[in-house]
Amino acid sequence: MNSKNYSRGKLTDKVFKYTALAFTVFALSVLVILLVDIFSKGLARINWDFFRNLPSRHANRSGIMTAMAGMLSLLFFTIIIALPIGILAGVYLQEYGKKNRFASFIEINIANLAGVPSVIYGILGLTLFVRILHMGNSLIAGALTLALLIMPIIIVATREAIKAVPNSLREASYGMGATKWQTTSKVVIPSALGGILTGIILAISRAIGETAPLLVIGALVYVPFIPEGPNDQFTTLPIQIFNWTSRPQADFIINAAAGIIVLLLITFLLNGIAIYIRNKWYKKIKY
């Protein structure tokens, strides 16, 4: 072996190792810089009034109450629409679905839907729910749009979770004389619940951050009231943040940063819960 070549190989190896480590540290530090930047800009505005106030043209009197209320109502409707349909579809495709052309068509269809840009879902919602079904730019139109958007995530998560359930459990249930649905509802779904729950929380976290499709269906940027029913107009926290970010006055930038702090805390909390549940469930499912 040529020893000069060998040592040059070692040098390349070392150089690459430290370059790659530097890249990893760089990516992580962008995250840190982003957080530091936003907290340093917005933390001063976070106080009780910020949560309690209505939007206003005076930045320091503006608050996120209607945005938070709109976001929570929107999530409520999105979840009650998307959850049952998404879970049942996922269970059907994994547990009942046969390996035929229809099944592979559905599979490619769901993979495709997961990759459709969210703004396109906005166009779908605008045309179908807002115009054709005359729902206007209401909470329910927004919730239906978001429900379609997060359904592929719930379906894929449900399928993955059900795939992880050991076959022995199913066979034990059949052996006891249980029917297919009894086995599915009493054995398979409960065992897969941890994984399904993780997927649901991640889907909710995704729905919370969505802005573009809601802007397209005509969600308002200024809503001085709390929505009281599914037909009311609404705004959400990301839309409020977008609105504040696009204003030239520096005071509103502080508001935007403060709103982002709240949005990030919610997002991180949900993701943390999801990771916690997933880890616990993985330990349990590995019998």
Partner 1 sequence: MSLPILKKEKLIEVLMMCCSFVTVLTTIGIILILTLEAIKFFAEVPIGDFLTDTQWTPLFSDKHFGILPLLSGTLLTTTIAILVAVPLGLIIAVYLNEYASPRFTAVVKPILEVLAAIPTVVYGFFALQFVTPLLQKIIPGLNGFNALSPGLVMGIMIIPYITSLSEDALRAVPRSLREASYGMGATKFQTAFKVMIPAASSGIIVSIILAISRALGETMIVAIAAGQEPKLTFNPMESVETITTYIVQVSMGDVPQDSLEYKTIFAAGLTLFVFTFILNNISFFVRKRFQNKYE
130-189 positions binding partner 1, by CB under 8 A = 131, 148, 151-152, 155, 179-181
DSSP state of 134: -
Site for partner 1 in 55-114 (CB under 8 A): 84-86, 88-89, 91-93, 96-97, 106, 108-113
Strand, coil or helix: 178: coil
Tokens 């879970």 belong to 87
Beta bridge pairs of residue 233: 138
Q: Which of 146, 203, 216, 262 binds partner 1 (CB under 8 A)?
A: 216
Q: How far is the CB of 206 from partner 1 (least distance, A)?
A: 8
Strand, coil or helix: 247: coil
Which amino acid would we find at residue 101? R
For partner 1, give the closer residue by CB, 30 or 172.
30
For partner 1, give the closer residue by CB, 34 or 172.
34
Q: How far is the CB of 226 from partner 1 (least distance, A)?
A: 22
* Tokens read off for 45: 């505005």
| Distance (Å, whole) CA 263 – CA 234 | 17
DSSP annotation string for 98-127: -SSHHHHHHHHHHHHHHHS-HHHHHHHHII
Site for partner 1 in 2-21 (CB under 8 A): 6, 9-10, 12-13, 16-17, 19-21
Q: Which of 43, 44, 80, 116 binds partner 1 (CB under 8 A)?
A: 116
Q: Is 282 in the site for partner 1 (CB under 8 A)?
A: no
| Distance (Å, whole) CA 234 – CA 66 | 8
For partner 1, give the closer residue by CB, 56 or 112.
112
Strand, coil or helix: 35: helix
Q: What is the CA radius of gyration of the chain?
A: 24
Q: CB–CB of 234/139 below 8 Å?
A: yes
Q: Which of 75, 264, 273, 285 binds partner 1 (CB under 8 A)?
A: 264
Q: How far is the CB of 34 from partner 1 (least distance, A)?
A: 5
DSSP state of 222: -
Interface region with partner 1, contact rule CB under 8 A, candidates 54-62, 125-133, 166-174, 226-234: 125-133
Q: How many residues bind partner 1 (CB under 8 A)?
A: 87
